[in-house]
A and B are shown apart, each in its own frame.
Chain A
Amino acid sequence: MNLIDAIGSFGFSILRLSTPIIFAALACTVTKKAGLLNMSVEGMMLTAALAGVLVSAVTQSVILGILGAVAAGCAVGLIVSTVNLVGKSELYLTCIAMNLIATGGTTFALYMITGTKGTTFSYLPSLAVPNIDIPLIKDIPLLGRIVSGHSVLTYLAFLTALLTWVLIFKTRLGLRLRSVGENANAAQSVGVSVTRIQTYAYIIAGAIGGLGGAFMSMSYVSWFSREMVAGRGFIGLSANNIANGNPFIALLFSIIFGSADATSNVLQLTDAGMAYFIKMLPYVITIVSMVIMSLLEINRRKKMKQQVVAKAIAELHLEGKDH
C-alpha cells in the first residue's frame, strides 16, 4: 500500500513538475514553426509569474491574475519581435537582453511594490489557481492519485498542446506560420507578410509562456520569488529542439524532462549528489539527440548523393559500350 502511495505521489509530482516545461516547450514550438528560436521564453515566464501575482493580489480574481500573466507574456513577445524587427538586431542577443531585463526588472518591481528583495510571500495577498479533482477517475486507485487533483493549469497545459497542434496544422495562421518558417520568400511572394506573421508567433508564444509563468507563481507556489523560473524555460526550449516543432513530441519530452526533475526532487533528501546528477540528464539527452539528428541528416544527404553519382557513372559506362 505504501509503495503504491509512493508511486502515486511520484507520478503526481511528474505531472506537476512537467507543467511549466510543457508551456515553455509549446511557446518555443510556435516560434520555431515560424523559423525563430525563442530564447526569451525564460523572460516571458518570469515576467508573467510576477504579473499573475500582482494582478491577482490587486483584483482578488484568479482569472484576472492568469489573464494578467498571459498579457505580460504577450508584451514580452511583442517587445522582442519589435526590437528585433525595428532595431535589426540579432535575435539571440535581443532574447538574452530581454531575459536580463526580465530578471532585473522583476526583482526591481518586486522591491518597488513590496519593499523586499526576495519574495512576495506574506507581503501580497495573491491567489492560487485551484486544483480540481476529476470525477470517477479520482477514485481509481493509482491512476486517480496521479492524474487527479492537479492545478487547472496543469490540465490546461495538455490542452494547450492540442490547441497548439490545431493552431499550427488546422488554421490559416498556422499554414502561414509554417510557410514563413520554411520558405519566407515563397510566403512573401504570395502576399503573406513575413514580419507580421513572425510578430504573431512571438505574441502567441508569449501567451503560452505566460500560462507557464502563471503556473509557477499561482500553482507551483502561491507567491513570486526572484528568478523563480530557474532555467525551466531553457528545458522547454530543449524539449522543443528535440521535437523539432511537433507539439506532441514536445509534450512527451517535457514530461520526460519533468520526470528527471521529479526523480531529482525525491533523491534530494536521501542522496543530494545523485539528485544533481539526474538533473543533468535532460540537457545531456538534448545534446546527444542534436548530435544524432545531425549525423542522420548528414548521412542521408551523403547516401542520396552517392546513389545519384553511382547511377550517373553506370550510365556513362553504358554509353561507352554503345560507341
Chain B
Amino acid sequence: MSSLLRVEHLTKVYSNGFVANKDINFAVEPSEIHALVGENGAGKTTLMRILFGMEDFQGGSIYIQEKPIVPKSPLDAIGHGIGMIHQHFMLVPSLSVAENIVLGMEPVKGGFFDYEEAVRATEETAKKYRFDDLNVRSKVADISVGSMQKVEILKALFRGAKVLIMDEPTAVLTPQETRELFEQLRRLKEQGHSIIFISHKLEEIMELCDRVTILRKGECLGTYDIQDMTQESISRLMIGRDVELKFARETHDTGNDVLKVQNLIVVGDDGKRKVDNVSFHVQRGEVVGIAGVEGSGQSQLASAIAGSGEYHYGSVVLNDLEVSGQSVRSMREKGMAYIPEDRMKDGATVNQSVRDNIIADRYYDPKFRKGIFLNRKAIDEFVNRCIKDFEIACDDADQPVRMLSGGNIQKVVVAREFTSGCNFILAEQPTRGIDVGTTEMIRRRIISMSHENQVGTLLISADLNELLEVSDRILVMYKGKITASFRNMEEVNEEILGEYMLGVKKMSEEEMEGQA
C-alpha cells in the first residue's frame, strides 16, 4: 500500500548546531488521522515546519504519494497537497469568509473581483466537505473561534490539500466545538483525506486518532496503532526516564510562607480561564516546582505573581502584601527576584551593556549614586564582581548583551536576580536552551540560596529533570488547575509526573492535601 506522505531519515540541524530532528521516519496512510506527540522541545514543531516548507532540512527525504518532494515555501507545500492549520489563525478579520478563502487565487470578472463567484466556489467546497453551518458571507471578525478554524480548514481544502497538519487544534476550542471538529475530521477521513494531529491531550488522541508517532528529544520512537496503546503507555514513551539526580538532597528547615496564592483566577483575552482557581503557598527555604505542558496556565500564573499581569479573582500575597496593590519596584525591594521565561524580551535589554543589565533593578540605590548622578566607580566594582562570580564570558562590562551567547545572557540575568538580596525567586524556565555548565550552575545556586539563605523559590519548568533535581515539592498544572502535588521526591519520577501533566490522572483534593 502506498503512503500518502512518507518521511525517511529526516534530519534537521539548526545553524547554531542544535539537532532538532534526528533521523525521523514515519508515514501517513490515506484516510488516516495520525497523531504526533512529544514533549515540548521534542521536535514536533520543527518537523511540521519542514513539511510545510517553512524550514529547510539537512538530510533525508519527503515523499508525497511516493514522489519525492522538497517543500520550499508554504505555497509550494500547498501545491504538493499539504495544508496546515496554525494555532494562530492566518485570517483577515475584516474580510468575509469567502474572501479569506479565495485570497491569492481570486476569481475575476471584467477586471473586478467577482464576489459572487467567490461565494459560489466557497459554498461548493463547504458543501462538498459538509461544513454546513458556515455562512460564507459573514465577516471573519464576527464569527466564533470554532468557525474560524473551519475557515482555515476550508482554506486548505479549497487549495487541494490532501494532508492537513493541525497544530494543537483543540487548544482554542470549547468542548462542544471540539466534538464538532472531531466529527468534521472523521468526515474528511472518510473522503480520503489524512490528518496529522498534534496534541498534548492524550484522551483526545485516543478518541480520534488511528495511529500515533512519538517523538522524544528530536528522535522518533516509532509509530503505534492506537488500539495497542493506552494513555499510560503513550505518556511513558513520551516522557521516558533518564533522570539523574546530581545534587545530594538534604533535609533542611523551612520557615513561614513567603508566597501565598489563594483561589487565583486569571481570564485570558479570549475569555478562557487560563488560571482556574489555583491555591498554593511557598515557604521560606523551599523550592516548589510547577510542572505542566506548555499552555497549562503557568505563564499567566507567573505574570500574576511578578506583578506584570492582572488577575481577576482570588489573591496573591507576597511577603504579606497583596501583589495587585503594589508597584513592581516595591515588590522587588521587599525581596522578589524574577527570572522570566523570555530572556531576550523580558529578562535582559540586549542592546545595552552588561553593566546596564546588571544594575537595572538597583541603579537608584544610594550605594550606586552620588545625588542624581550614578556612581560609576561603585557600579563598576559591583558589576565586575558579578562578572567574576558568575563567570560571565564577556570582554568587559561595556559589551552589549546581544553579543553574548545564550548561556552567558542568562548568567547576566541570574547575576542580577541572585545578588538582589531576595527572599523569593520566581524562576520561569531558567535553563531552557542553554549549555550544560550554565544549567548546572543555575540549579546549584537555586538550591544553595534556598538552603543557606532561606529563600523561597517557585520554579516553573518544562524540564522534568530540573524539577526533580531541584524541587522540594512539585505541583502539576493541567488546563489551568493544579491537578497533583508531590512532597516526597523519592516517590515521584518522570513517568508519574507525565501522567498528571497530560491529564491521564488527577489527584483528588484529599490526596493533594495529604501531600501538601
Contact = CB atoms under 8 A, between A and B. Distances in A.
Interface of A: 166, 170-172, 174-176, 178-179, 182-183, 185-187, 189-192, 305, 308-309, 311-313, 316
A186 B313 contact: no
A305 B269 contact: yes
B267 A190 contact: no
25 contacts: A170-B112, A170-B113, A171-B111, A171-B113, A172-B112, A174-B113, A176-B103, A176-B106, A178-B92, A179-B92, A179-B95, A179-B103, A182-B92, A186-B90, A186-B91, A186-B100, A187-B103, A187-B104, A189-B75, A189-B90, A190-B90, A190-B155, A305-B267, A312-B271, A313-B265
A190 B113 CA distance: 17
B91 A183 contact: yes
For the complex of A and B, the 5 pairs showing the least CB-CB separation, nearest first, are A190-B104, A186-B90, A308-B271, A191-B75, A309-B312
A166 B110 CA distance: 13
A160 to B, nearest CB: 17
A65 to B, nearest CB: 28
B94 interface: yes
Contact of A183 (B92, B104, B113, B265): B92
Contacts of A189: 74-75, 90
Contacts of B103: 175-176, 179, 186-187, 190, 192
From A176, A178, A186, A187, residue with most partner B Cβ within 10 Å: A186
A189 B90 CA distance: 8
B45 interface: no
Interface in B305-330: 312-313
B236 interface: no
B507 interface: no
A247 to B, nearest CB: 15
A311 B313 CA distance: 12
Contacts of A171: 111-113
B108 interface: yes
Given A175-B113, A192-B103, A187 B92 contact: yes
B interface majority secondary structure: loop
A168 to B, nearest CB: 11
Contacts of B313: 309, 312-313, 316
A316 B312 CA distance: 12
A174 B115 CA distance: 12
Nearest to B88: A185
Contacts of A312: 265, 267, 271, 273, 312-313
B93 interface: yes
Given A172-B108, A183-B91, 20 more contacts: A170-B112, A175-B106, A176-B106, A178-B92, A179-B103, A182-B94, A183-B92, A186-B91, A187-B104, A189-B75, A189-B90, A190-B75, A190-B104, A191-B104, A192-B104, A308-B271, A309-B312, A311-B271, A312-B267, A312-B271
B123 interface: no
Contact of A313 (B90, B106, B312): B312
Contacts of A313: 265, 312-313
Interface string B80-116: 0000000001111111000110011110100111000
A183 B155 CA distance: 16
A175 B105 CA distance: 11
A interface majority secondary structure: helix
B90 A183 contact: yes
B277 interface: yes
A311 B95 CA distance: 30
B90 to A, nearest CB: 4
Nearest to B93: A182
Contacts of B99: 175
Nearest to A308: B271
A178 B95 contact: yes
B172 to A, nearest CB: 15
Contacts of B155: 190
A185 B312 contact: no
Nearest to A315: B273
A33 to B, nearest CB: 10
A2 B307 CA distance: 70
A182 B111 CA distance: 24
A28 B91 CA distance: 24
A182 B91 CA distance: 9
Interface string B262-297: 000101010101000100000000000000000000
Contacts of B108: 172
Nearest to B113: A172
Contacts of B271: 308, 311-312
A242 to B, nearest CB: 18
B145 to A, nearest CB: 13
Contacts of A175: 95, 99, 103, 106, 113
Contacts of A178: 92, 94-95
Contact of A316 (B91, B95, B265): B265
A185 B93 CA distance: 13
